[in-house]
RNA sequence: GGGGCGGUAGCUCAAUUGGUUAGAGUACCGGACUGUCGAUCCGGUGGUUGCGGGUUCGAGUCCCGUCCGCCUCGCCA
């Protein structure tokens, strides 16, 4: 078998005259009668032109070369030669390899898709075809490059955390069902009939136990599983870079993780990340309407309820009449909020702004009242006539300039905030304000979001739920208030308790999230109680944790980075399937292997399962 | 669970108001050509229009159901 001496991306002018051999796939072929054949040979490292011509090759070799087609797999021996006509568009374009011997490892059948990034062959395969024939799709230089970025991110994480004393430890994939959070994948147990494992939503409790075990610093690149409906940026199985540290408080772990972010961006993107700013949850919700603000552009949200109160506009008045006595946050109290869109009068056509009503309807809002300030400084269109009495106040409050458009939301705090938070991002896209992905020179805007509420009331059930997860500790200065609070009557206190959680937000995407953990058995038990668990239920589900907490648990804190989303940012895609070698479709199928699949009844019996699915 | 878009040649797409034999590019096959690099030129093979049912003289097109892909709301401690 011909073995390669070089890769297809390696040869340069300095190799001229050397005997070499290359192996790879036929990327393209160009024929000139019986006398001259060009083959572009591709491997993971690049493309090199092979030449078969009458002067250098026996006739049989040229004939064989002329029969090569796209994706045939071959090895070639030959000599490196400077090209008569260099091709400046590829790194190996100054040379070619004059073939003297060829071994065909495999001929290909008619291909369903071509591994072609450029669309040079006249088309780019659809995603369904790419997933079905993933092994061809992954040959594309673009996909190879993404796999490379993913590898570098993982390697950088392992190096950085190794240098800082972290141990890489594997945690179980067959785990105990703890059904509070996301829906779990279940695995029937053969040896204990009728009982099940669950696949972990995250290794959360194991890494805490590892801290209690004295491991001090833990890291793992680990698979997590959530059986929820997917999105463009979600998969049922995804990967986290998971971390936990002992004997630290919030500032310590945030410093350590900021160091990791700085190292990662330096090594993977060649970018120096400046110190990461912090923003409180309340400020983020107030200014951006979302807990992961995209700070690459303005369009901030302002509360103008006090101005809106003064005018006779039914939509505003009805909104403001909702729960007027309620607390401002996490409540149903009515508010009026607004976004100033600089230059929107020209760029946002009537058709576009009309479309915003339908957009916010999906978040429960009734519409988007709109007004323009024309070049002469007069309110125009939409609700102009209602706003006239408070024109000066509005201009001052929002900093309006001629040519601006103002978009309003009048609803409950929750709906108005969510609607404008989402609308803000849509307007930014419509106005062309969102820069290209960072890898193409756009800004990387990092932000720590901190001071989340510990708990909020579930909208439907009215039960308290943990905003992050039930193992999150209150912020140091809040712990006492939580310990003292009466769970049955002290709603105001419970709602106001701030956690020691922290998220890293990048360009409006959450890329990491974590918290200081509860290391007191009493506090942990109290959280379980608040979340509606009886002591018996808490014991049944989490006795191992409660026991561990009472046998010498150090203070500890952790975080997890969403690896897939990190890669999406580095390579500039909004499709998570692009950054996973073998991803699943929206209903969780693997189109290549056709998983999931039926299994024989025998196999079901062994695990004590009977299917009730029809058909 | 809800809403939206799509499924036609190996692949990417087109097909007028429901109208004759469903087209193009590319891939593939055959031929021409000694410096191309998205080679070019000539010719050819290739179709159960996702699947099932219905309306109609006539369905790729309209209706019902179903499967699959994508986007999205809910959901994702």
CB burial class (10 A; 0-12, 13-18, 19+) of residue A366?
middle
Task: Report whether pLDDT(A559) > 70.
Answer: yes
Closest protein residue to B7 using CA and C1' atoms? A128
Q: Is the CB of A465 under 7 A from strand B?
A: yes
Residue A387 neighbours by CB under 8 Å, 6+ apart:
A311, A313, A371, A379, A394
Closest protein residue to B69 using CA and C1' atoms? A128
Residue A580 pLDDT grade (very low, low, confident, very high; cuts 50, 70, 90): very high
Task: Report whether pLDDT(A103) > 90.
Answer: yes
Cβ(A286)–Cβ(A552) below 8 Å: no
Residue A582: how many CA atoms within 13 Å on its side-chain side?
Answer: 9
Closest nucleotide (C1' vs CA) to A585 is B69
Considering chain A, what percentage of its residues have pLDDT values greater than 70? 97
Please give the DSSP secondary-structure letter assigned to residue A435.
P
Q: Is the CB of A411 under 7 A from strand B?
A: no
Tokens linked to A137: 């799709």
Matching residue, tokens 């591709």: A42
Distances (CA, A) of A360 to A91, A350, A363, A398: 50, 16, 5, 21
Helix A204-212 and helix A535-550: axis angle, to 10°? 40
Q: Is the CB of A55 under 7 A from strand B?
A: yes
Q: Is the CB of A587 under 7 A from strand B?
A: yes
* Whole-number distance in Å between A434 CA and B14 C1': 35
Residue A444 pLDDT grade (very low, low, confident, very high; cuts 50, 70, 90): very high
* Whole-number distance in Å between A67 CA and B42 C1': 20
Dihedral in degrees, nearest 10, Cα atoms A502, A507, A510, A514: -20
Q: Is the CB of A93 under 7 A from strand B?
A: yes
Q: Is the CB of A83 under 7 A from strand B?
A: yes
Q: Is the CB of A466 under 7 A from strand B?
A: yes
* Whole-number distance in Å between A582 CA and B22 C1': 36
Q: Is the CB of A118 under 7 A from strand B?
A: yes
CA angle A249, A255, A261 (to 5 degrees): 135
pLDDT at A16: 96
Task: Report whether pLDDT(A322) > 90.
Answer: no
pLDDT at A75: 97
pLDDT at A233: 95
Task: Report whether pLDDT(A438) > 90.
Answer: no
CA distance A309 to A320: 7
Q: Is the CB of A179 under 7 A from strand B?
A: no
Residue A379: how many CA atoms within 13 Å on its side-chain side?
Answer: 19
Residue A381 pLDDT grade (very low, low, confident, very high; cuts 50, 70, 90): confident
Q: Is the CB of A243 under 7 A from strand B?
A: no
Task: Report whether pLDDT(A440) > 60.
Answer: no
Task: Report whether pLDDT(A5) > 90.
Answer: yes
Closest nucleotide (C1' vs CA) to A67 is B29
Closest nucleotide (C1' vs CA) to A124 is B12
Q: Is the CB of A127 under 7 A from strand B?
A: yes
CA distance A172 to A200: 8
Q: What is the CA A15 to chain-centroid distance, rounded?
A: 43
Nucleotides of B under 7 A from a protein CB: 1-2, 10-13, 25-29, 32-40, 68-77
Mean pLDDT of A64-69: 94
Q: What is the CA A509 to chain-centroid distance, rounded?
A: 7
Please give the DSSP secondary-structure letter assigned to residue A322.
S
Cβ-defined contacts of A537-545 (< 8 Å, 24+): A541/A178, A542/A178, A542/A205, A544/A205, A544/A209, A545/A205, A545/A208, A545/A209, A545/A471
Question: Which residues 502-531 of chain A have a CB under 7 Å from nucleic chain B?
Answer: none
* Whole-number distance in Å between A119 CA and B26 C1': 10
Closest nucleotide (C1' vs CA) to A200 is B77
pLDDT at A122: 53
Mean pLDDT of A443-464: 89
Mean pLDDT of A531-551: 94
ipTM over 0.90: yes
Please tell me the least confidently modeled range out of A8-17, A36-45, A62-71, A324-333: A324-333
Please tell me the least confidently modeled range out of A171-175, A438-442, A462-466: A438-442
Going by C-alpha positions, the residue among A383, A378, A432, A430 that lies closest to residue A404 is A378
Cβ(A190)–Cβ(A196) below 8 Å: no
Per-residue pLDDT reduced to its tens digit, A388-417: 999 999 999 999 999 999 999 999 999 999
Mean pLDDT of A254-268: 97
Residue A491 pLDDT grade (very low, low, confident, very high; cuts 50, 70, 90): confident
Give alpha helix (H) positions in A299-412: 305-308, 314-320, 344-347, 350-361, 384-387, 391-398
Estimate the share of chain A in helix, then strand, then coil, as percent rounded to the nearest 5: 35, 25, 45
Going by C-alpha positions, the residue among A496, A502, A503, A464 that lies closest to residue A478 is A496
CA distance A209 to A193: 28
Mean per-residue pLDDT of chain A = 93
pLDDT at A356: 93
Helix (H, G, I), strand (E, B) or coil at A214: coil
Mean pLDDT of A293-310: 95
CA distance A303 to A121: 54
Question: Which residues 182-221 of chain A have a CB under 7 Å from nucleic chain B?
Answer: 182-183, 201-202, 204
Per-residue pLDDT reduced to its tens digit, A331-364: 678 999 999 999 999 999 888 898 899 899 989 8
Residue A600 pLDDT grade (very low, low, confident, very high; cuts 50, 70, 90): very high
Q: Is the CB of A358 under 7 A from strand B?
A: no
Mean pLDDT of A446-463: 89
Cβ(A371)–Cβ(A406) below 8 Å: yes
Matching residue, tokens 């589900």: A541
CA angle A104, A107, A113 (to 5 degrees): 135
Going by C-alpha positions, the residue among A594, A548, A573 that lies closest to residue A211 is A548
Residue A297 pLDDT grade (very low, low, confident, very high; cuts 50, 70, 90): very high
Q: Is the CB of A461 under 7 A from strand B?
A: no
- DSSP E strands, A33-93: 36-43, 46-53, 73-82
* Whole-number distance in Å between A112 CA and B29 C1': 17
Mean pLDDT of A606-612: 92
Dihedral in degrees, nearest 10, Cα atoms A497, A502, A503, A506: 120
Distances (CA, A) of A252 to A203, A245, A353: 22, 9, 46
* Whole-number distance in Å between A583 CA and B5 C1': 22
Tokens linked to A615: 């058909």
């Amino acid at each position: 078998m011909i073995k390669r001496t070089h890769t297809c991306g390696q040869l340069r002018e300095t190799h001229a005259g050397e005997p070499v051999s290359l192996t790879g796939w036929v990327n393209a072929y160009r024929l000139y009668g019986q006398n001259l054949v060009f083959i572009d040979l591709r491997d993971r490292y690049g493309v090199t032109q092979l030449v078969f011509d009458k002067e250098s090759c026996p006739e049989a070799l040229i004939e064989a070369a002329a029969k090569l087609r796209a994706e045939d797999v071959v090895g070639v021996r030959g000599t490196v030669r400077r090209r008569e006509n260099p091709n400046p568009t590829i790194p190996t374009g100054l040379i070619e390899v004059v073939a003297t011997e060829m071994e065909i490892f495999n001929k290909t059948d008619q291909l369903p898709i071509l591994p072609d990034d450029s669309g040079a062959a006249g088309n780019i395969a659809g995603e369904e075809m790419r997933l079905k024939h993933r092994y061809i799709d992954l040959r594309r230089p673009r996909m190879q490059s993404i796999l490379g970025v993913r590898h570098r991110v993982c390697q950088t994480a392992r190096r950085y955390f190794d240098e800082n004393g972290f141990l890489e430890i594997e945690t179980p994939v067959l785990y105990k069902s703890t059904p509070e959070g996301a829906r779990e994948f279940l695995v029937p147990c053969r040896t204990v009939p009728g009982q099940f494992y669950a696949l972990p939503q995250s290794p959360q409790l194991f890494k805490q136990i590892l801290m209690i075990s004295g491991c001090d610093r833990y890291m793992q690149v680990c698979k997590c599983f959530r059986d929820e409906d997917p999105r463009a940026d979600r998969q049922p199985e995804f990967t986290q870079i998971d971390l936990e540290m002992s004997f630290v408080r919030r500032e310590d772990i945030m410093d350590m993780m900021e160091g990791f972010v700085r190292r990662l961006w330096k090594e993977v993107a060649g970018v120096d990340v400046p110190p990461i700013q912090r923003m409180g949850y309340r400020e983020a919700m107030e200014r951006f309407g979302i807990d992961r603000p995209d700070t690459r552009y303005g369009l901030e949200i302002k509360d103008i309820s006090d101005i809106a109160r003064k005018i006779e506009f039914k939509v505003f008045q009805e909104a403001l009449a909702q729960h007027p006595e309620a607390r401002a946050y996490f409540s149903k109290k009515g508010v009026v909020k607004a976004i100033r869109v600089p230059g929107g009068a020209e760029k946002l056509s009537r058709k576009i702004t009309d479309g915003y009503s339908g957009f916010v309807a999906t978040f429960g809002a009734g519409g988007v009242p709109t007004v323009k300030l024309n070049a002469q400084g007069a309110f125009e269109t939409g609700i102009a006539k209602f706003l006239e009495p408070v024109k000066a106040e509005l201009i001052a409050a929002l900093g309006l300039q001629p040519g601006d458009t103002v978009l309003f939301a009048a609803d409950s705090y929750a709906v108005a905030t969510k609607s404008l938070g989402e609308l803000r991002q849509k307007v930014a896209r419509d106005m062309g304000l969102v820069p290209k992905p960072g890898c193409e020179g756009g800004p990387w805007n990092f932000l720590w979001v901190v001071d989340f509420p510990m708990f909020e009331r579930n909208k439907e059930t009215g039960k308290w739920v943990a905003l992050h997860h039930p193992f999150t500790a209150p912020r140091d200065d809040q712990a006492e208030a939580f310990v003292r609070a009466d769970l049955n009557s002290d709603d105001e206190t419970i709602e106001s308790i701030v956690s020691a959680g922290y998220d890293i937000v990048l360009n409006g995407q959450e890329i990491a999230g974590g918290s200081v953990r509860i290391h007191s058995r009493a506090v942990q038990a109290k959280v379980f109680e608040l979340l509606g668990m009886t002591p018996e239920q808490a014991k049944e589900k989490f006795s191992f944790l409660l026991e561990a907490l009472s046998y010498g648990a150090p203070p500890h804190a952790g975080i997890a980075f969403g690896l897939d989303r990190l890669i999406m940012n580095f390579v500039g895609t909004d499709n998570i399937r692009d950054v996973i070698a073998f991803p699943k479709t929206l209903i969780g199928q693997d189109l290549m292997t056709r998983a999931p699949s039926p299994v024989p009844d025998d196999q079901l019996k062994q695990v004590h399962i009977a299917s009730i699915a029809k058909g």
